A and B are shown apart, each in its own frame.
Chain A
């Protein structure tokens, strides 16, 4: 375990530094990107289309959605090509191959933490009343991490065999952006669509974070897995899916990983 952490720290830090080495603004880009997204969507939906009227605290609502979506998509996007592009070191040294995609995701996690500070600033500006439920947020983020890493490991291992995986993932990520209630309240979807959407642990985490941060007695943030599937047991459905995806992906990655050195 200390070996894993040491590798992640050293390799993650080096890759993070290298990624922005040639850029004039360097690291600023990684934070600027989701905030720019946010700015555009906020302008369109809060001012031009007035969705904001249906959603109190639309700013925070939107920012939470975009930051979590960026984290999800960027993590998977960084892990996906990692074995193919960085796997040649597996031909030199025997070490657990899982370290390659995990190292690739370290930079995304650092960026995400920086982005969370931006969220904290907005929460302070908007004078959101602190709530006890905020303590659940770290646990929810942990669940999201597990889900992201699961998907990331799966696509990274598949990419070694099938080069289509990049295109499929890019399309999926685009569709998810529009289907996942990131910039609109999920309550406007028909009931069956909500049931489908909440099968995705990302949607559940996003809604639960919104609910925890903003609360609100009858707002759109009240739509959670519990209300959609009826009853507290329904909460478990997406969490279970996240866990199964992670374990399944881990098993698949382990099996495939024995042969990465021959295939990359």
Chain B
């Protein structure tokens, strides 16, 4: 079977200016001053592939490039070099709370998000109640999201992500703020995705999640692949590296 995700030689760096210039004034006042940049190589020559139906973990310390990699897979960031190919429909769950309009109600946000993700009006009508039911937020559907807690936002975002038809699901730090009941509910969906043969990429810090769900794990260290293999091997490699380093 063809891989669901192919990543070949992907690099991405961000230029972080030492001083941000957002007004023309700054150009007029210091016309000859060159803006100096800090170059942050978020990813360097990353190559791997994920088989269809695989539950794939991405793991690494803070700032190792996990989220950047996930955004590149989702087509949100453009890689500087290299190729990314994802086959099938993709649904991303990325960075908590980002992308919601907090001044709008949950109802409106669900409609905007699902429509942008490609749902037709009929699909949306079908899915709307399922999204709400899964998130258990029926009572709060007409409240503005600015009144939501971070746990409630997470519930809503996760529910939308998994109700949109997908072949490949990208999950970034999903369960960081959910309560225990909802976490268990999410784990059950993980199991059903595995049974249905869906491809899932999960970014997490939680080692127990890696061994519980993942078929293979990629360890990312400062933008470079540190190890790739079974959860046990990779966690071991990480612990050794952490001890030596």
Query: Bound complex: CA of A89 vs CA of B14, how far in Å?
Result: 20
Q: Are B112 and A92 in contact (CB under 8 A)?
A: no
Name A92's contact: one of B25, B78, B94, B111 (CB within 8 Å): B94
Q: Are A10 and B95 in contact (CB under 8 A)?
A: no
- Secondary structure at the A interface, as helix, strand, loop or mixed, is helix
Interface centre among B100, B101, B121 (most CB of A within 10 A): B101
Distance to closest chain B CB from A242 (angstroms): 27
A113 on interface, CB distance cutoff 8 Å: no
Which residues does chain B contribute within 8 Å of A86, judged by CB atoms? 101
Q: Chain B contact residues (Cβ within 8 angstroms of A): what range?
A: 20 to 34
Which residues does chain A contribute within 8 Å of B22, judged by CB atoms? 161-163
Which residues does chain B contribute within 8 Å of A7, judged by CB atoms? 115-116
Which residues does chain B contribute within 8 Å of A134, judged by CB atoms? none
Query: Bound complex: CA of A7 vs CA of B119, how far in Å?
Result: 10
Inter-chain CB contacts under 8 Å: number: 75
B32 on interface, CB distance cutoff 8 Å: no
Chain-A contact segment, one of B68-76, B196-204, B234-242: B68-76
Distance to closest chain B CB from A220 (angstroms): 39
Q: Are B14 and A262 in contact (CB under 8 A)?
A: yes
Interface centre among A11, A91, A92, A95 (most CB of B within 10 A): A92
- Secondary structure at the B interface, as helix, strand, loop or mixed, is loop
B229 on interface, CB distance cutoff 8 Å: no
A178 on interface, CB distance cutoff 8 Å: no
Q: Chain A contact residues (Cβ within 8 angstroms of B): what range?
A: 20 to 34
Distance to closest chain A CB from B98 (angstroms): 5
Residue of A nearest to B24 (CB): A164
Q: Given A163-B23, A261-B71, do A14 and B98 touch, yes or no (CB 8 Å)?
A: no
Query: Bound complex: CA of A259 vs CA of B13, how far in Å?
Result: 12
Query: Bound complex: CA of A11 vs CA of B94, how far in Å?
Result: 21
A25 on interface, CB distance cutoff 8 Å: no
Q: Are A6 and B71 in contact (CB under 8 A)?
A: no
Q: Are A91 and B112 in contact (CB under 8 A)?
A: no
A93 on interface, CB distance cutoff 8 Å: yes
Within 8 A of A (CB), among B90-112: 92, 94-95, 98-101, 103-104, 108, 111-112
A227 on interface, CB distance cutoff 8 Å: no
Q: Are A89 and B99 in contact (CB under 8 A)?
A: yes
Which residues does chain B contribute within 8 Å of A88, judged by CB atoms? 98-99
